Copies of this chain bind each other. A is one copy, B any other.
Amino acid sequence: MAYYVGIDLGGTNIKAGVCDSEGNLLNKLSIKTRAERTEEEIIHDMGKLALDVIKDCGKEVSDIEAIGIGSPGTPDNEEGLLVYSANLPFNNSPMRKLIRDVVDLPVYIDNDANCAGMAEAVAGAAKGTKDSVTITLGTGVGAGVIINGRIYSGFNQAGSEFGHTVLVSGGLQCKCGRRGCFEQYASASALARMTEEEAASHPDSILGDVIKEEGGSNAMIAFIAMRRGDKVAKDLVERYLDYLSDGLANVINTFMPEILVVGGGVCNEGDPLLIPLKEKTMSKPYFGPGVKKTEIRLAEMGNDAGIVGAAMMGKACMDDGKNGK
Protein backbone atom coordinates (compact mmCIF):
# COMPACT_ATOMS: atom_id res chain seq x y z
CA MET A 1 0.00 0.00 0.00
CA ALA A 2 1.22 3.50 -0.83
CA TYR A 3 0.87 6.39 1.62
CA TYR A 4 0.50 10.15 1.19
CA VAL A 5 0.76 13.12 3.55
CA GLY A 6 -1.94 15.77 3.30
CA ILE A 7 -1.44 19.24 4.79
CA ASP A 8 -4.40 21.57 5.30
CA LEU A 9 -3.07 25.12 5.68
CA GLY A 10 -5.56 27.47 7.31
CA GLY A 11 -5.47 30.97 8.75
CA THR A 12 -5.68 29.59 12.31
CA ASN A 13 -4.38 25.99 12.21
CA ILE A 14 -2.13 23.83 10.09
CA LYS A 15 -3.38 20.24 10.06
CA ALA A 16 -1.60 17.23 8.59
CA GLY A 17 -2.33 13.53 8.29
CA VAL A 18 -1.22 10.33 6.58
CA CYS A 19 -3.64 8.70 4.14
CA ASP A 20 -3.54 5.44 2.26
CA SER A 21 -4.20 5.43 -1.48
CA GLU A 22 -7.96 5.09 -0.97
CA GLY A 23 -8.21 8.23 1.13
CA ASN A 24 -8.44 6.53 4.53
CA LEU A 25 -6.96 8.91 7.10
CA LEU A 26 -4.61 6.99 9.40
CA ASN A 27 -3.70 9.76 11.86
CA LYS A 28 -3.54 13.54 12.15
CA LEU A 29 -1.75 16.34 13.99
CA SER A 30 -2.41 20.04 14.24
CA ILE A 31 -0.37 23.16 15.07
CA LYS A 32 -1.20 26.85 15.20
CA THR A 33 -0.52 28.79 12.01
CA ARG A 34 0.45 32.03 13.75
CA ALA A 35 -0.12 33.90 10.51
CA GLU A 36 1.76 36.97 11.76
CA ARG A 37 5.03 35.11 11.09
CA THR A 38 7.04 35.20 7.88
CA GLU A 39 6.23 32.77 5.07
CA GLU A 40 9.58 31.00 5.65
CA GLU A 41 8.76 30.31 9.30
CA ILE A 42 5.26 29.05 8.51
CA ILE A 43 6.36 26.80 5.66
CA HIS A 44 9.27 25.45 7.71
CA ASP A 45 6.75 24.42 10.38
CA MET A 46 4.63 22.73 7.71
CA GLY A 47 7.64 20.61 6.73
CA LYS A 48 8.34 19.71 10.37
CA LEU A 49 4.67 18.84 10.88
CA ALA A 50 4.89 16.48 7.89
CA LEU A 51 7.87 14.72 9.50
CA ASP A 52 6.03 14.54 12.84
CA VAL A 53 2.86 13.09 11.38
CA ILE A 54 4.80 10.45 9.44
CA LYS A 55 6.59 9.43 12.64
CA ASP A 56 3.34 9.58 14.65
CA CYS A 57 1.85 7.16 12.11
CA GLY A 58 4.74 4.72 12.70
CA LYS A 59 6.07 5.24 9.18
CA GLU A 60 9.37 6.33 7.64
CA VAL A 61 9.74 9.13 5.07
CA SER A 62 10.57 6.38 2.57
CA ASP A 63 7.08 4.89 3.10
CA ILE A 64 5.49 8.09 1.78
CA GLU A 65 4.96 8.80 -1.94
CA ALA A 66 4.22 12.52 -1.83
CA ILE A 67 3.03 15.49 0.21
CA GLY A 68 -0.08 17.34 -0.95
CA ILE A 69 -0.85 20.81 0.38
CA GLY A 70 -4.25 22.49 0.34
CA SER A 71 -4.03 26.23 0.84
CA PRO A 72 -6.35 29.20 0.58
CA GLY A 73 -5.54 31.34 -2.46
CA THR A 74 -4.02 30.60 -5.83
CA PRO A 75 -1.23 28.05 -6.22
CA ASP A 76 1.11 27.40 -9.13
CA ASN A 77 1.56 23.65 -8.87
CA GLU A 78 3.86 23.56 -11.88
CA GLU A 79 6.42 25.89 -10.31
CA GLY A 80 5.64 24.81 -6.75
CA LEU A 81 4.57 28.28 -5.61
CA LEU A 82 1.76 29.76 -3.60
CA VAL A 83 1.12 32.74 -5.87
CA TYR A 84 -1.27 34.60 -3.66
CA SER A 85 -3.34 34.15 -0.53
CA ALA A 86 -5.78 36.73 0.80
CA ASN A 87 -5.40 35.87 4.49
CA LEU A 88 -1.80 34.66 4.73
CA PRO A 89 1.53 36.41 4.08
CA PHE A 90 2.24 34.50 0.87
CA ASN A 91 3.27 36.17 -2.35
CA ASN A 92 4.84 33.91 -4.96
CA SER A 93 6.16 31.83 -2.07
CA PRO A 94 8.45 28.93 -3.09
CA MET A 95 6.47 26.51 -0.96
CA ARG A 96 7.69 23.33 -2.66
CA LYS A 97 11.34 24.26 -2.27
CA LEU A 98 10.98 25.33 1.36
CA ILE A 99 9.08 22.16 2.32
CA ARG A 100 11.64 20.03 0.51
CA ASP A 101 14.42 21.71 2.50
CA VAL A 102 12.85 19.93 5.50
CA VAL A 103 11.53 16.69 4.00
CA ASP A 104 12.75 15.12 0.77
CA LEU A 105 9.48 14.12 -0.91
CA PRO A 106 7.57 15.32 -4.00
CA VAL A 107 5.37 18.28 -3.00
CA TYR A 108 2.15 19.35 -4.76
CA ILE A 109 0.03 22.41 -4.03
CA ASP A 110 -3.61 23.19 -4.73
CA ASN A 111 -6.42 25.37 -3.44
CA ASP A 112 -8.21 24.26 -0.26
CA ALA A 113 -11.71 24.26 -1.77
CA ASN A 114 -10.41 22.15 -4.65
CA CYS A 115 -8.90 19.70 -2.15
CA ALA A 116 -12.25 19.49 -0.30
CA GLY A 117 -13.81 18.51 -3.64
CA MET A 118 -11.12 15.88 -4.17
CA ALA A 119 -11.75 14.40 -0.71
CA GLU A 120 -15.48 14.02 -1.36
CA ALA A 121 -14.78 12.53 -4.80
CA VAL A 122 -12.29 9.94 -3.55
CA ALA A 123 -13.64 8.99 -0.14
CA GLY A 124 -16.82 10.95 0.59
CA ALA A 125 -20.24 11.78 -0.79
CA ALA A 126 -19.15 11.55 -4.44
CA LYS A 127 -17.06 8.40 -4.08
CA GLY A 128 -17.14 6.31 -7.23
CA THR A 129 -17.95 9.18 -9.60
CA LYS A 130 -15.68 10.79 -12.18
CA ASP A 131 -17.39 14.21 -12.33
CA SER A 132 -18.50 15.99 -9.16
CA VAL A 133 -18.62 19.46 -7.68
CA THR A 134 -18.36 20.25 -3.97
CA ILE A 135 -19.73 23.58 -2.75
CA THR A 136 -18.61 24.60 0.74
CA LEU A 137 -20.67 27.24 2.55
CA GLY A 138 -18.48 29.09 5.03
CA THR A 139 -17.18 32.64 5.34
CA GLY A 140 -17.32 32.56 1.55
CA VAL A 141 -18.56 29.98 -0.93
CA GLY A 142 -15.84 27.57 -2.01
CA ALA A 143 -16.10 25.27 -5.00
CA GLY A 144 -14.08 22.18 -5.85
CA VAL A 145 -14.63 20.87 -9.36
CA ILE A 146 -13.57 17.31 -10.18
CA ILE A 147 -13.56 16.33 -13.85
CA ASN A 148 -12.54 12.84 -14.84
CA GLY A 149 -11.17 12.25 -11.36
CA ARG A 150 -8.93 15.32 -11.42
CA ILE A 151 -9.23 18.80 -9.93
CA TYR A 152 -10.20 21.34 -12.57
CA SER A 153 -9.31 24.96 -11.92
CA GLY A 154 -8.35 26.33 -15.31
CA PHE A 155 -5.07 27.14 -17.03
CA ASN A 156 -3.87 29.30 -14.12
CA GLN A 157 -5.26 27.23 -11.20
CA ALA A 158 -7.43 30.23 -10.26
CA GLY A 159 -10.76 28.96 -11.59
CA SER A 160 -13.81 27.29 -10.06
CA GLU A 161 -14.37 30.48 -8.06
CA PHE A 162 -18.10 29.92 -8.17
CA GLY A 163 -18.55 32.07 -5.06
CA HIS A 164 -17.50 34.99 -7.24
CA THR A 165 -20.02 34.58 -10.01
CA VAL A 166 -22.71 37.25 -10.06
CA LEU A 167 -26.16 35.97 -9.11
CA VAL A 168 -27.76 39.37 -8.50
CA SER A 169 -26.51 41.83 -11.10
CA GLY A 170 -25.90 45.20 -9.43
CA GLY A 171 -26.49 43.63 -6.00
CA LEU A 172 -24.50 43.68 -2.76
CA GLN A 173 -20.87 44.77 -2.84
CA CYS A 174 -18.47 41.83 -2.64
CA LYS A 175 -14.92 42.05 -1.30
CA CYS A 176 -13.68 40.88 -4.73
CA GLY A 177 -14.79 44.21 -6.22
CA ARG A 178 -17.89 43.00 -8.05
CA ARG A 179 -21.50 43.41 -7.02
CA GLY A 180 -24.00 40.63 -6.41
CA CYS A 181 -21.62 37.65 -6.07
CA PHE A 182 -23.15 34.30 -5.09
CA GLU A 183 -21.25 34.25 -1.80
CA GLN A 184 -22.89 37.51 -0.69
CA TYR A 185 -26.21 35.61 -0.67
CA ALA A 186 -25.43 31.98 0.03
CA SER A 187 -22.41 31.74 2.36
CA ALA A 188 -22.82 31.02 6.05
CA SER A 189 -21.66 34.59 6.68
CA ALA A 190 -24.37 35.89 4.37
CA LEU A 191 -27.03 34.02 6.32
CA ALA A 192 -25.63 35.36 9.61
CA ARG A 193 -25.73 38.90 8.17
CA MET A 194 -29.28 38.46 6.87
CA THR A 195 -30.28 37.12 10.30
CA GLU A 196 -29.00 40.27 12.00
CA GLU A 197 -30.83 42.45 9.48
CA GLU A 198 -34.11 40.59 9.98
CA ALA A 199 -33.75 40.69 13.78
CA ALA A 200 -33.27 44.47 13.59
CA SER A 201 -36.24 45.09 11.32
CA HIS A 202 -38.54 42.62 13.12
CA PRO A 203 -38.08 43.22 16.86
CA ASP A 204 -41.27 41.15 17.38
CA SER A 205 -39.55 38.02 16.04
CA ILE A 206 -37.47 35.81 18.33
CA LEU A 207 -34.40 36.06 16.08
CA GLY A 208 -32.97 38.74 18.37
CA ASP A 209 -33.45 36.55 21.45
CA VAL A 210 -31.64 33.65 19.83
CA ILE A 211 -28.79 35.93 18.73
CA LYS A 212 -28.42 37.00 22.39
CA GLU A 213 -28.50 33.37 23.59
CA GLU A 214 -25.79 32.46 21.09
CA GLY A 215 -23.68 35.50 21.91
CA GLY A 216 -23.86 36.90 18.35
CA SER A 217 -25.31 36.08 14.96
CA ASN A 218 -24.39 32.93 13.04
CA ALA A 219 -25.81 30.71 10.32
CA MET A 220 -27.63 28.42 12.79
CA ILE A 221 -29.84 31.07 14.39
CA ALA A 222 -32.44 31.28 11.65
CA PHE A 223 -32.92 27.49 11.82
CA ILE A 224 -33.16 27.49 15.65
CA ALA A 225 -35.77 30.29 15.58
CA MET A 226 -37.67 28.55 12.78
CA ARG A 227 -37.89 25.35 14.85
CA ARG A 228 -39.36 27.44 17.68
CA GLY A 229 -42.13 28.50 15.30
CA ASP A 230 -40.90 31.99 14.35
CA LYS A 231 -42.51 33.15 11.09
CA VAL A 232 -39.82 35.75 10.29
CA ALA A 233 -37.14 33.07 10.67
CA LYS A 234 -39.10 30.69 8.42
CA ASP A 235 -39.32 33.35 5.71
CA LEU A 236 -35.62 34.12 6.11
CA VAL A 237 -34.63 30.46 5.69
CA GLU A 238 -36.90 30.31 2.63
CA ARG A 239 -35.22 33.36 1.11
CA TYR A 240 -31.74 31.98 1.86
CA LEU A 241 -32.65 28.67 0.23
CA ASP A 242 -34.01 30.52 -2.81
CA TYR A 243 -30.64 32.19 -3.35
CA LEU A 244 -28.65 29.06 -2.54
CA SER A 245 -30.74 26.87 -4.84
CA ASP A 246 -30.45 29.45 -7.64
CA GLY A 247 -26.68 29.26 -7.34
CA LEU A 248 -26.65 25.47 -7.13
CA ALA A 249 -28.84 25.26 -10.23
CA ASN A 250 -26.27 27.47 -11.95
CA VAL A 251 -23.54 25.02 -10.93
CA ILE A 252 -25.60 22.12 -12.28
CA ASN A 253 -26.39 23.79 -15.61
CA THR A 254 -22.71 24.66 -15.97
CA PHE A 255 -21.02 21.42 -14.93
CA MET A 256 -23.73 18.73 -14.84
CA PRO A 257 -21.80 16.78 -12.22
CA GLU A 258 -23.01 13.30 -11.40
CA ILE A 259 -23.05 14.34 -7.72
CA LEU A 260 -23.26 17.91 -6.37
CA VAL A 261 -21.96 17.89 -2.79
CA VAL A 262 -22.90 20.67 -0.38
CA GLY A 263 -20.79 21.15 2.73
CA GLY A 264 -19.96 23.59 5.51
CA GLY A 265 -21.28 24.02 9.06
CA VAL A 266 -24.76 25.08 7.93
CA CYS A 267 -25.20 21.55 6.56
CA ASN A 268 -25.35 20.21 10.12
CA GLU A 269 -29.00 21.24 9.89
CA GLY A 270 -29.48 18.02 7.91
CA ASP A 271 -32.86 17.23 6.39
CA PRO A 272 -34.63 20.53 7.30
CA LEU A 273 -32.02 22.14 5.05
CA LEU A 274 -31.42 19.37 2.52
CA ILE A 275 -35.00 18.40 1.63
CA PRO A 276 -36.29 21.87 0.66
CA LEU A 277 -32.90 22.71 -0.89
CA LYS A 278 -33.08 19.65 -3.16
CA GLU A 279 -36.68 20.42 -4.09
CA LYS A 280 -35.96 24.05 -4.90
CA THR A 281 -32.79 23.29 -6.84
CA MET A 282 -34.05 20.37 -8.89
CA SER A 283 -37.21 22.23 -9.89
CA LYS A 284 -35.06 24.85 -11.62
CA PRO A 285 -32.37 23.45 -13.90
CA TYR A 286 -32.50 23.38 -17.63
CA PHE A 287 -32.85 19.68 -18.26
CA GLY A 288 -34.18 18.40 -21.54
CA PRO A 289 -36.84 15.74 -20.93
CA GLY A 290 -35.24 12.34 -20.43
CA VAL A 291 -31.80 13.61 -19.46
CA LYS A 292 -30.17 11.99 -16.42
CA LYS A 293 -30.25 14.29 -13.39
CA THR A 294 -27.52 15.43 -11.03
CA GLU A 295 -27.94 14.19 -7.46
CA ILE A 296 -27.43 16.56 -4.52
CA ARG A 297 -25.80 15.15 -1.37
CA LEU A 298 -24.45 16.53 1.88
CA ALA A 299 -20.68 16.47 2.37
CA GLU A 300 -19.36 13.54 4.38
CA MET A 301 -15.71 14.35 5.01
CA GLY A 302 -16.23 17.08 7.61
CA ASN A 303 -13.13 18.66 9.13
CA ASP A 304 -10.83 16.05 7.58
CA ALA A 305 -11.74 17.05 4.01
CA GLY A 306 -8.76 19.39 3.72
CA ILE A 307 -6.18 16.82 4.84
CA VAL A 308 -7.59 13.89 2.89
CA GLY A 309 -8.18 15.98 -0.24
CA ALA A 310 -4.64 17.38 -0.16
CA ALA A 311 -3.20 13.87 0.19
CA MET A 312 -5.36 12.53 -2.66
CA MET A 313 -4.48 15.54 -4.82
CA GLY A 314 -0.84 14.60 -4.21
CA LYS A 315 -1.61 11.02 -5.25
CA ALA A 316 -3.33 12.19 -8.46
CA CYS A 317 -0.31 14.35 -9.34
CA MET A 318 2.02 11.38 -8.76
CA ASP A 319 -0.23 9.11 -10.85
CA ASP A 320 -0.13 11.70 -13.66
CA GLY A 321 3.67 11.87 -13.46
CA LYS A 322 3.70 15.55 -12.54
CA ASN A 323 6.95 17.05 -11.35
CA GLY A 324 6.92 17.60 -7.59
CA LYS A 325 10.63 18.25 -7.08
Contact = CB atoms under 8 A, between A and B. Distances in A.
A83 B155 contact: no
Contacts of A166: 167, 246-247, 249-250
Interface in A145-185: 147, 152-162, 164-169, 171, 176-178, 185
A256 B165 CA distance: 12
A8 to B, nearest CB: 19
A254 B162 contact: yes
Interface string A230-261: 00000000000001001101101111111000
Contact of A288 (B74, B255, B286): B74
Interface residues of A, number: 57
Copies of this chain, tallied across the complex = 2
Instruction: Name the residue among A85, A159, A293 with the largest chain B CB count within 10 angstroms.
Output: A159
A133 B108 CA distance: 27
A57 to B, nearest CB: 34
Nearest to A174: B286
Contact of A287 (B85, B158, B247, B287): B158
A143 to B, nearest CB: 8
B291 A158 contact: yes
A94 interface: no
A241 to B, nearest CB: 13
A168 B168 contact: yes
A10 interface: no
A275 interface: no
A284 to B, nearest CB: 5
B243 A176 contact: no
A159 B290 contact: no
A91 interface: yes
Contacts of A131: 154-155
A158 B287 CA distance: 7
Given A131-B155, A243-B169, A161 B291 contact: no
Interface of A: 73-74, 83-86, 91-92, 129-131, 147, 152-162, 164-169, 171, 176-178, 185, 243, 246-247, 249-250, 252-258, 284-294
27 contacts: A83-B291, A84-B290, A86-B288, A91-B289, A129-B155, A154-B256, A156-B292, A156-B294, A158-B286, A158-B292, A159-B255, A159-B256, A160-B254, A160-B256, A161-B253, A161-B286, A162-B254, A165-B250, A166-B167, A166-B246, A166-B249, A167-B167, A168-B168, A177-B284, A177-B286, A178-B246, A178-B284
